Amino acid sequence: MGPDWAIALGVAFWICIALLTSALPVQMRRGTWLSVSVAPIIACMNLGGPIVAGWVALIGSTEMRELRGRIPWYGTLANHAMITLPALAGGVVLHVLRGGHAKEELLWDFAATMAAATVYLALNLGLASLAVSLRSGVSLRIVLLGDARDFAGSLFGLAPLAWLMGRIYLQAGWWATLLFALPLWTTRVAHSRFVEMREMFTQTIESLANAVDKRDPFTSNHSKRVMLIASDIGREMKCSEPEMEALEWGGLLHDIGKIGVRDEILLKQEKLTREERMKMNAHPELGAEIIAPVRKLAAELPIIRHHHEWYNGSGYPDRLIGTEIPWLARILHVADAFEAMTAQRPYRMTPLTAEQALSELRKFAGIQFDPAVVDAFVRTNWVDGVPDPGRVVTLRPIPLLAQAAGRMAQVAAGATPLPDPGASPTDAR
């Protein structure tokens, strides 16, 4: 067999490996697709340079979904481009780094391949996240940090394996390379298990939140809507990816403590007595106690415990003031209040309009709510086109004077002093 035929057969072999490893991609949380085809593509960058790696990436990244016609032509074009272009770039980087070094200088060859793999993965993750961001409208930062955080380490872990695949191909032949199918398959299984477990966890949390909401016919979907509003505010306030996740799960679970509140209190249409109010007000603490044993939800605990704290220190359960209140709990408080005001409740059969609710939020900014959070909420779609009365009170109390300042601000805002949280329309029971 001539050398040209040997090269052609070699390229065909690597295309087959790439096709097999691309066949069952796993969809990540924010929407990008992940496959273990990075390993054969990096191996080809090492073995054949940018042109061979480019061809293997172009043909080998074909997926079953494309062959079944489930992806439009521009989607197929984008999918192939976001694998082929990084493969070409990685191949060029490897070629330049190798310079005059021989392939037999193993340590140098390994280091150059790792550098090229880093370029490939960074470009590939960046382009894939950009495509998802453009398609879904979710910011590039959220998609990139969300998906890359979970899997970048695992993908980079495939780079040394890819280098080894290339060396084994050269030393022992194509058949020995097939032995790598096993670690690649187990990596793929681990990725899909991770995604499944995460999905199961999210679904379980949603079911728990539904169970609480369903006890009261007026509050069905309350937790989900609070989660959506809080997430939009979080996005406006440039929350980090872990903070966004805490807002999502914390939003769903914030009222979980209502499981421990009796029906005659939860569903009461009249004003609650002082004793009933105390039992109702225990729900943030109770919720935090229920969630405390779940270590994965540690970041959500402060949100659940402090979502009824007031900015001026007259909330509950710990009467925290201003910035003492965890930031995410301040975000959730605004989302919770807006949702509660604009929905029918047993104690208020006619919900407020979005305009009235926004006006209440503005009135109580600096008293009940963090004014910066209310400002961020005004920029979300939830109050698109709603007339905004603007900031009435911009108060940032300092700890010692905060209580007095809070009361003064209430008078300045024309509001009745509120010795008992719950008397205000802005307070979600």
The footprint of Fe ion (CB under 5 A) covers: 255, 336, 428
Distance between CA atoms of 328 and 304, rounded to whole angstroms?
A: 10
Look up tokens 């003031």; give the residue. 321
The nearer residue to Fe ion, 240 or 347, going by C-beta atoms, is: 347
Distance between CA atoms of 399 and 108, rounded to whole angstroms?
A: 60
The nearer residue to Fe ion, 15 or 343, going by C-beta atoms, is: 343
Please report how close the Cβ of residue 224 comes to Fe ion at its closest, in angstroms.
Answer: 11
Please report how close the Cβ of residue 293 comes to Fe ion at its closest, in angstroms.
Answer: 20
The nearer residue to Fe ion, 301 or 428, going by C-beta atoms, is: 428
The nearer residue to Fe ion, 188 or 333, going by C-beta atoms, is: 333
Eight-state DSSP code of residue 417? P
Using DSSP bridges, classify how beta strands 26-27 and 33-34 pair: parallel, antiparallel or unpaired: antiparallel
Distance between CA atoms of 401 and 210, rounded to whole angstroms?
A: 41
DSSP per-residue letters across 162-184: HHHHHHHHHHT-HHHHGGGHHHH
> At residue 58, what is the residue type?
L
Please report how close the Cβ of residue 320 comes to Fe ion at its closest, in angstroms.
Answer: 15
The nearer residue to Fe ion, 60 or 287, going by C-beta atoms, is: 287
3-state DSSP call for residue 336?
A: helix
Please report how close the Cβ of residue 230 comes to Fe ion at its closest, in angstroms.
Answer: 11
Distance between CA atoms of 314 and 421, rounded to whole angstroms?
A: 8
Nearest residue to 285 via CA among 260, 312, 314: 260
Rounded to 5 degrees, φ, ψ at 260 are -90, 5
Rounded to 5 degrees, φ, ψ at 79 are -60, -45
How far apart, in Å, do the first and last CA atoms of the chain sit?
81
Please report how close the Cβ of residue 337 comes to Fe ion at its closest, in angstroms.
Answer: 9
Which 3-state string (H, E, C) describes 203-228? HHHHHHHHHHHHCCHHHCCHHHHHHH
Look up tokens 């194509």; give the residue. 174
Please report how close the Cβ of residue 406 comes to Fe ion at its closest, in angstroms.
Answer: 20
Distance between CA atoms of 377 and 368, rounded to whole angstroms?
A: 15
- The burial class, CB within 10 Å (0-12 / 13-18 / 19+), for 125 is buried
Q: For residue 217, give both structure tokens.
A: 């016919």
Rg (CA), the chain: 28
Contact 382, 233 (CB under 8 A): no
Please report how close the Cβ of residue 256 comes to Fe ion at its closest, in angstroms.
Answer: 9
The nearer residue to Fe ion, 241 or 248, going by C-beta atoms, is: 248
Distance between CA atoms of 401 and 409, rounded to whole angstroms?
A: 12
Please report how close the Cβ of residue 428 comes to Fe ion at its closest, in angstroms.
Answer: 5
The nearer residue to Fe ion, 82 or 428, going by C-beta atoms, is: 428
Please report how close the Cβ of residue 346 comes to Fe ion at its closest, in angstroms.
Answer: 14
DSSP per-residue letters across 258-284: GGGS-HHHHT--SPPPHHHHHHHHTHH
DSSP E strand boundaries for 25-77: 26-27, 33-34
The nearer residue to Fe ion, 83 or 256, going by C-beta atoms, is: 256
Please report how close the Cβ of residue 219 comes to Fe ion at its closest, in angstroms.
Answer: 8
Distance between CA atoms of 213 and 217, rounded to whole angstroms?
A: 8
Please report how close the Cβ of residue 321 comes to Fe ion at its closest, in angstroms.
Answer: 19
The nearer residue to Fe ion, 164 or 282, going by C-beta atoms, is: 282
The nearer residue to Fe ion, 110 or 327, going by C-beta atoms, is: 327
The nearer residue to Fe ion, 94 or 301, going by C-beta atoms, is: 301
